[in-house]
Amino acid sequence: MEAPPDNDVLWARALHFQHDDGSPALSGISLGVREGEILAVSGPRGSGKTTLLRCLSGLAPVRRGEVWFNSVPVHTMGPLTRERLRRDRFGWIDPAPSLVPELNAWENAALPLMLRGTSRRRAKTAAMEWLERLDIGEGARKRPHQLVQAERQRVCIARALAPAPSVLFADEPTAPLHRADRAHVLRTLTTAARSHGITVVLATHDAETAALADRTVSLLDGRRVQTVHLPPVAEPTETEGRAACSLSV
């Protein structure tokens, strides 16, 4: 078993994954993610973006292939060890906001810290910092049902950032947001990641979102593909157009 490069915080080799119905989701994907890098995983719906993030984060057990985090093999870990890794070192943002309905916004954002044993006061301070940065501080005492969907998603993003994860997995994190909100949240997310040294793996089908990343990996039908940008075709001049017409007669 070959160890990953020293400068890669995440490393995957020859990943294969099948859905429960037997259909392939990933077919031999290999990649490395450097520490502090923002990597965009792009591709159309059904290309395997979410499955790749789930395998890299330990949410989905790898059937074939290898996944390493800081030179530790994730693919050989048992369920409880993977769960501790996700709790202590990883953050996750879903495309749809999911919050505990009985807790208010700041309690939801502070929940991962309190589950780690952080005091309520310190957890609230960290949660409020991110809620303010994401312009949802005024709603900190509101329950999820009192917030609109875009506000609930901001709380979910604050919840993922408050524990200062080593790696943040973001699966279409701005999908529920309006265009103007999307730009602000993405700037906050990328600025926070760079200032705090957080590695980000971002799944997106949006070219503008992918452009904020340091590097982009493109998927199609569970495989890595190279995107080829063809030069624009020049419009024919009037003389060339007349000549083409005369030749076709």
Q: Does 236 reside within a domain? A: no
Spatial separation of the C-alpha atoms in residues 134 and 155, rounded to whole Å: 8
Residue 135 CB contacts under 8 Å (≥ 6 apart), including other chains: 154, 184
Q: Where are the beta strands (DSSP E) in the chain?
A: 8-18, 24-34, 38-42, 64-69, 72-73, 90-93, 167-171, 199-204, 215-220, 223-225
- Per-residue pLDDT 10s for the chain (249 aa) are 566 666 789 999 999 998 888 788 899 999 999 999 999 999 998 899 999 999 999 999 888 999 999 989 999 999 999 999 999 999 999 998 999 999 999 999 999 999 999 999 999 999 999 999 999 999 999 999 999 998 999 999 999 999 999 999 999 998 888 888 888 888 888 888 898 899 999 999 888 889 989 999 999 999 998 754 445 555 555 555 555 444 443
Q: Does 248 reside within a domain? A: no
Q: Does 150 reside within a domain? A: yes
Q: Which residue range(s) make up the domain with 199? A: 35-59+82-225
Looking at residue 125, which CATH number applies to its domain? 3.40.50.300
Number of domains comprising the chain: 1
Q: Does 184 reside within a domain? A: yes
In DSSP terms, which residues pair with 38 in a beta bridge?
200
Q: Does 181 reside within a domain? A: yes
Q: Does 169 reside within a domain? A: yes
